[in-house]
Structure 1
Amino acid sequence: MNFIQTIEGWITRERIRILCILIVPALLLFDLIQIWSNAAMFGRFPYGHDFVAFWSAARLAVEGQPGAVYEPSIYFAMQEELILRGGVLPWFYPPTFLAALMPLGFFGFPAAWVIFSGVGIGGLALAARPFLKGQDRIGWALLLGAPVMGLTLVQGQNGAIVAALMLGAFAARAAGRTWLAAVLIAALTIKPHLAILIPVALLAARDWRLIWRAGLVTLIFLAAPCAVFGTQSWTLAFQHLSKTGWIFAERETLVQMVTIYAGGRLMGLPAEFATALQVVSAGLAVIFVWRLWRDPRVPGELKLAGLLMAALLVPPYGFRYDMVVTLAATLLIAGQAQRQGWMPGERLCLAALWLLPLVLPNIADASNLPAGFALLLLGLWSVRRRVSDLP
């Protein structure tokens, strides 16, 4: 028995079940203890560190000041009343996301975090149901008990919502519900840089009906913020983008990211060279998805796994909480393995994809290497192995 087989021997159903039960509660408990150990913070609501920015924006929108998200004197002042650690967060998101968040501004911060998190978890569970149907409960445990789910909850981020929209769109497509798929794809305008490969996949599949329907609904979604916030909402958003690049150059931010651009900057490469590497990464992702979705031999779930695995290879900015998308891909590959048999070393690869997002910033900080990008490549290789094994 070689070394890999020895390690894989430790990956048993019982150990997986225990990890799935413990990890998310442990992360929530650790964050609570870390915050409340500071006497000045004791008793304050301990979760949703990034959600502070979302809730503050929603409250400003409810108060009739959506443009104030671009006014530091107003937006940051509201955040400072809630922030528990770190600094204030600029608004990076398009008006479509602000419009979606707006109803949360009617609630207090803790209640809004609970609703936001519940929508993410519930939406992901609903979207994953067609893919996990017929499997035992270990698939659900791996989905809802993954470290990246705990990280998303603690930070109050939208990774689960984005993954739910992606999974739901292609589940609807597979069921022939094209208009629903179009709506869910259009909803990804809340975080469009993670959906860039979807048009590539649909063009490769020659799914013209979904393409034009998704295009139509997307135009409606893009116009909706103008009706809610005024026609200047998109102008302000684009003007603001050029003023926020500084935060993505900070080391504390770079170690949280999983792109080759961030990895290159950590290695000390000039921004121009890191950008060139990112262009190469994006190009390879486009080619990979195009070829995958053009291949009639590849089953739909494996095509979707490849698309999800490649999603974070395209944009220069992608964080570990966005890896709920790769978590979904990991479980799709695991489903293929359960039905068709495990390949050598595959359990170890998928275990790494499932577990390592927990410690990616620590590895990147200690090594100055693109640990997150390496994990994305491992995921892509896992898909490629499956495709190569097809008859």
Structure 2
Amino acid sequence: MKAGHWLTSKRLHIYPAAMLLAQLVGVCILLYLYRDAPGYEPSMAFANDFRVFWGASHLALEGRAADAYDINQLFPVLQSVDPGLVRVRAWFHWFYPPTFLLAVLPLAVLPYLLSYAVFTLSTLVGYVVMLARIARPHRIGLLIIAFPPTILTAFNGQNAFLTATLAGCGLMLLERRPVVAGICIGLLAIKPHLAILFPVALLCTRAWKAMFAAAATALCLFIASLLVLGVDTASGFVHSIGIARQLATEGALPLVKMPTVFGAARLLGAGASLANGIHFAVAVLAMLAVVLVWRKPQPLCLRASVLILASLLVSPHMFDYDLTWLALPIAWMGVHGLRRGWLRGERELLVVAWFSPLVCEVGASILSVQMGPLVVLTMLAFLLCRARLSTLAQGVAASVSPTTRHVSR
């Protein structure tokens, strides 16, 4: 009798539970070690990125939205909530567009810690509900909570839950409610570098309603942000892009936390120009993969997974918390495999992909090897094989169909 696969439903509960426990212990150890940091306050040991959101909101509510793009104006606000900050670091800058500043405008209405809790919990709930909808009827709540980027995003108070939820909802609703899907996709204008390939996909599949809804939503959001926050925020954002590019070129941004092709190349010793060139070449290939899959009538789970993975390869300035998006193709590929059968090695790949964000920074720090892009590229290759098999199956079905109809007569 042939033995069953080692990845059983029981183990799908044991492994995530152990992973969640290990991560919580790690967080506790980190908080314990942080107590010796200069100017330590227990309440400020987490939410490191959220304080930038709250600080920008604070300036905007004072009528000084454009000052969020000036680190000399923003840094004192950050110090007011974390007195332990003694010098400016690259990641203290506000690099987001006015659209996201409008989205976080209400944050500073609440005290800092309460605002962090409300923002993180509300976006986490949306993220969990969206992924549970993708995977139903399978229960994956523990897998979602124990997924390493979930802990990372919550610990830092980042926006990845929000952006992943918008992307997932937009793709889930694309066929049934294209206008609502377009609105969700248009709202990704809060973090546009992750949504670059979405218009390409919509154009390839001729999803005109969704495309127009997305364009209208993004345009309205941008205009509203300028009306509310002032036109100076647009020029401030453009200026911040140059600062971000300069910081990345100089290596001021933490490369070990950047699971991108650019970051991987830089860690291996490539110069900035060569790393940018390699990244651009991979980004073009990723775009071609989107075009190839989205031009043909593939199952939505395959098309959506390819788009998400390709989007993770396009931006050179993505950070480890953005791997929260990786849960989307993992969920879609898992459901598709359960329904249609598995390719050889596919389940093992999904396990590696689920664990990989936990070791990305460790591998980059110790071995100077960034695993993130390698995992994403491997998953993309599997999906292209899936799409090819699907196309062949459709071709066989089309060729057999006329014969079947003739015999039935």
TM-score, structure 1 normalization: 0.91
Q: How many Å separate the matches in 1 of 2:245 and 2:215?
A: 29
Which letter maps to 2:116?
A: W
Give 1:20's match in structure 2, choosing from 6, 9, 16: 16
Quote the Cα distance in structure 1 between the aligned partners of 2:21 and 2:155. 10
* Alpha-carbon separation, structure 2, partners of 1:87 and 1:373: 29
| Counterpart among 113, 116, 137 of residue 110 in structure 1 | 113
Deviation at 1:356, TM superposition (A): 1.0
Alignment partner, residue 171 of structure 1: 172
Checking the alignment, whether the CA contact within 8 Å between 2:182 and 2:209 is kept in structure 1 is no
Query: Deviation of residue 24 (structure 1)?
Result: 4.0
- Are 2:373 and 1:373 aligned? yes
Residue 189, structure 1, aligned to residue 220, structure 2: no
Q: Is the 8 A contact 1:36 1:44 kept in 2?
A: no
- How many residue pairs are counted as aligned between the two chains? 381
- The residue identity in structure 2 corresponding to 1:274 is A
**What is the match of residue 389 of structure 2?**
389
Offset at 1:26? 4.2
For residues 23 and 120 of structure 2, the distance between their equivalents in structure 1, rounded to whole angstroms, comes to 15
Shift of 1:231: 1.7
Q: Judging changes above 3 Å, is the alpha-carbon distance between structure 1 residues 182 and 152 closer, same or farther for their aligned structure 2 residues?
A: same
Aligned to 1:284: 285
Q: CA deviation at 1:310?
A: 1.0
Q: Which residue of structure 2 aligns with residue 318 of structure 1?
A: 318
Aligned twin of 1:61: 60
Q: How does 1:256-335 map to 2 (within 5 A)?
A: 256-296=257-297, 298-335=298-335
- Does residue 356 of the first structure (1) align with residue 352 of the second (2)? no
Q: Which residue of 2 aligns with 1:34?
A: 30
Aligned residues of 1:25 and 1:150 also touching (Cα < 8 A): no
The residue that corresponds to 1:80 in the other structure is 79
Q: State the Cα RMSD in Å.
A: 2.2
Q: Give 3-state SS (helix, strand or coil) of 1:242's partner.
A: helix
Deviates more, 1:329-338 or 1:78-87: 78-87
Structure 1 residue 280, shift from structure 2 partner: 0.7
Do the aligned partners of 1:147 and 1:357 also contact (CA within 8 Å) in 2? yes
Please give the alpha-carbon distance, in whole angstroms, between the structure 1 residues aligned to 2:230 and 2:68.
Answer: 14
Rg comparison, structure with higher value: 2
CA distance in 2, matches of 1:98, 1:253: 24
Paired letter, 1:346: E
Q: C-alpha distance in 2, partners of 1:20/1:69? A: 39
SS at match of 2:104: helix
Q: What residue identity is the alignment partner of 1:336?
A: H
Q: Note the C-alpha offset of 1:140.
A: 2.8
Partner of 1:143: 144
d(CA) in 1 for partners of 2:41, 2:186:
42
Mapped partners of 1:214, 1:69: distance in 2: 27
Q: Give CA-to-partner distance per residue, 1:305-351, whole Å, 9 cap, x none.
A: 11111111111111121111121111100111111122221111000
Corresponding residue number in structure 2 for 1:198: 198
SS of 1:244 mapped into structure 2 = helix
Deviation at 1:252, TM superposition (A): 6.2
| Normalised TM-score (structure 2) | 0.87
Unaligned 5+ runs, structure 1: none
| Matched residue SS, 1:173 | coil
Cα displacement (A) at 1:212: 1.6
5+ residue gaps, structure 2: 394-409
1:64-86 per-residue CA deviation (whole Å, 9 max, x = no partner) reads 22122122232112213444689
